[in-house]
Amino acid sequence: MDIEQQTVSALKGVGPRVAAKLGRLGLRTVQDVLFHLPLRYQDRTRLTPIGSLRARQEAMFCGNIELSDVVYRGRRNLLCRVADGSGSILLRFFHFSVAQQNTLQRGAFLRCFGEVRNGPAGPEVVHPEYELLPAGVKPEPESRLTPVYPVTEGVHQLSLRRLITGVLDTHLQGIREWLPEEVLAMLQLPTLREALDYVHRPPPQAAVDMLTQGLHPAQQRLAFEELLAHCLSLRKLRERIRRHGAPVIDASGKLFDALRARLPFALTAAQQRVIKEIVGDLRQRQPMQRLVQGDVGSGKTLVAAAAALHAVECGWQVAIMAPTELLAEQHWRNFRDWLAPMNIEVAWLTGRLNAQTRRSMSELVASGSAPVVVGTHALFQREIGFSRLGLVIVDEQHRFGVHQRLMLREKGAVNGCWPHQLIMTATPIPRTLAQSVYADLDVSIIDELPAGRHPVETAVIPDSRRQDVVQRVRSACVERRQAYWVCPLIDESEALQLQTATATEAALRQALPELQVRLIHGRMKPAEKEQVMTAFKHGDVDLLVSTTVIEVGVDVPNASLMIIENAERLGLSQLHQLRGRVGRGAVASSCVLMYRSPLSGAARERLAIMRATNDGFEIARKDLEMRGPGEVLGTRQAGEQQFHIADLVRDQSALPQIERVATILLTRYPQHVTPIVQRWLGVRDSYAEV
């Protein structure tokens, strides 16, 4: 039987209970075990004298137990002092058995491995791995680097290492090489068997630095195939989507022309280019699957309005889905203001509507009386039905789960036809990366800001200079400009965030009695929020104190100063979104990032990046480097962007070649595609069709 089908139960020592535990790690077949790759490595190939050990160092050392005692300091500790003539170190055990206590007695000779830390009485290792050696035996270090694997409860490192080593010895020759000879010659990388053997069992002379960084040719061989599997999966998904029909939306554009005529500004060339690409997609018989990327303030919402009006003109309904109540509300206001003069009803559906309003809105949507509906996840609940759903617009799509987006699209599926789908994001990523991560989508980029937008000057100031910042707010507002003062999340408590914002508003009212200071937060009723925002837009409020609900959707051209408290607690993307609330008018604007000392290294780096650039693509690139693609790009397949060994940031230089190889396989070796995808993605691939 092929190792792709052979279950782990066939392996020696793997009964039903162990198989169930391995299943929690995704190890169901023998092939899965071979592709369960190390997270990192430990160097146990040399013995370190105890006197040379330093804090935060992982090391192997040997010595005799000089002292062993159980002490009670809050809880029971077993302490063993081990010495080798060069120095001594303390071994500390919180969880230990009577048998361990009896074994770890004075005079015993141990070989230990663990991380050294500074303890209350000097250097110590907490719960080291140890081995009791016979007296007089010369301790030998390991002959290879020691892999550290992902584990789960009930599956320990030692047993997993033994299992994987056994499978390498008995089944490695059974692994199939699915990359054709012409591709292997092009790549000039090790074979699959060589790569797997090396990453699981690096030899003593292995380049540890290269392995640690994931840059060894053996790792790059595996990372290439994993990224190729991801790319093939999305390309196959694209093929499946194109087999479905979609409504042909061939509008004249008269509704959007009417909107453009009323706008007080002209569209940028980038907006016009992207709208042209969308209109071309809508005229096709296959469902549009287009991602629109654009920096803060680049005009993505207006591009979405153009797509919506083309659909409405041809008698189709449009659903616009946003991840938060506030963003949905902002979209609803924008679309209502733009479309109401054309007598186009815009409904909105969120979880906070009362039963009567919700029923009324649902009826408007079901009957088709509301051609446009804006909402949160409430849009795809079972009781919500559409009359003729032809276009789905999803904002910040990575913040939705896979099944949520699928359910909304299925509401428009009639007779094998799917609605068109337009996806928007303000998290720009490099084009090469976007084309690989979103290989199932066409990618459009709005790479131009509207005329008159000034770069925002950014200052980084400690909160010990709060009075200087308050004076800066006073000076700006005296000149008839307006300001934001944002109080971010202090911890996971929304209540505490609100309390902080309320206290800040009270303090600023007292410090600035001559100014109109108001507060806005997520717990206010929609009518209250709208009243405060309307007053701010009309200039009746000088200083708006806010929680981070102000992050998206607010456009007040006269606001030219943004103060962000505790800026060190926010990520680059969120800081950039908040800063994008100013700089929308003709006046030069500023953003003050106030921080509380001491700063971590990562926080210091984030604030320095914000001060150095206003370019959203550069900020997104740095964000990817610092946080990794999983957090920045969000969920894609089965809820998670998970890789065994690949790293989208580290390996992005290989992406163009991966695209070429994917094309070779799909056209010349289609029978190789499914085995590669299943090897790396397994059951996750079945969730891909979104």
pLDDT score at 632: 52
**How far is 615 from 633, CA to CA, in rounded Å?**
18
Instruction: Pick left, alpha or beta for residue 452 (phi over 0 → left; psi -120 to 50 → alpha; otherwise beta).
Output: left
Q: What is the pLDDT of residues 378-428, one digit of tens each?
A: 887 777 888 899 999 998 765 555 455 566 677 777 777 899 999 898 777
What single-letter amino acid sits at 57? Q
- In a 10 Å sphere around its CB, with 0-12 CB exposed, 13-18 middle and 19+ buried, how is residue 419 labelled? buried
pLDDT score at 223: 95
**How far is 368 from 363, CA to CA, in rounded Å?**
8
Q: What is the CATH number of domain 254-446?
A: 3.40.50.300
| Whether residue 635 has pLDDT greater than 50 | no
pLDDT score at 417: 85
Q: What is the pLDDT of residues 489-499, one digit of tens each?
A: 644 455 555 56
Could you tell me the pTM of the whole model? 0.74
Instruction: Please name the helix (run of DSSP H) or strand (run of DSSP E) that holds residue 82, with its range, or none.
Output: strand 75-83
Local structure of 67: helix, strand or coil: strand
As a whole-number percent, the residues of the chain with pLDDT over 70 amount to 91
Q: What is the pLDDT of residues 328-363, one digit of tens each?
A: 888 898 999 999 999 999 998 987 778 888 888 989
Asked if residue 578 lies in contact with residue 564, where contact means CB atoms within 8 angstroms, the answer is: yes
Q: What is the pLDDT of residues 557-578, one digit of tens each?
A: 899 999 999 999 888 988 998 9
Which position has the token pair 């074994």? 103
pLDDT score at 408: 65
| Whether residue 129 has pLDDT greater than 70 | yes
DSSP, res 144: S
Q: What is the pLDDT of residues 577-628, one digit of tens each?
A: 899 889 887 788 999 999 998 999 999 999 999 999 988 888 887 887 777 6
**How far is 305 from 293, CA to CA, in rounded Å?**
15
Q: Which residues of the chain are in CATH 2.40.50.140 domains? A: 50-141
Residue 46 burial (CB count, 10 A): 10
From the list 292, 283, 211, the residue with the least C-alpha distance to 250 is 283
**Top-tier CATH class for 50-141:** mainly beta
Looking at every residue in the chain, the average pLDDT score rounds to 87
pLDDT range class, residue 629, cuts 50, 70, 90:
low
- Long-range own/partner contacts, residues 192-197 (CB < 8 A, 24 or more apart): 192/221, 192/222, 192/225, 194/218, 194/221, 195/219, 195/221, 195/222, 196/34, 196/35, 196/168, 196/172, 196/222, 197/168, 197/172
Residue range 127-152: mean pLDDT, rounded = 87
DSSP, res 179: S
pLDDT score at 642: 66
pLDDT score at 249: 96
Residue range 277-287: mean pLDDT, rounded = 96
Residues 6 or more apart whose CB falls under 8 angstroms from that of 263 comprise 302
**Measured CA distances, 549 to 304, 389, 476, 529, 534 (Å):** 22, 30, 23, 11, 16
Residue range 10-20: mean pLDDT, rounded = 90
CATH 3.40.50.300 fits domain 457-613: yes
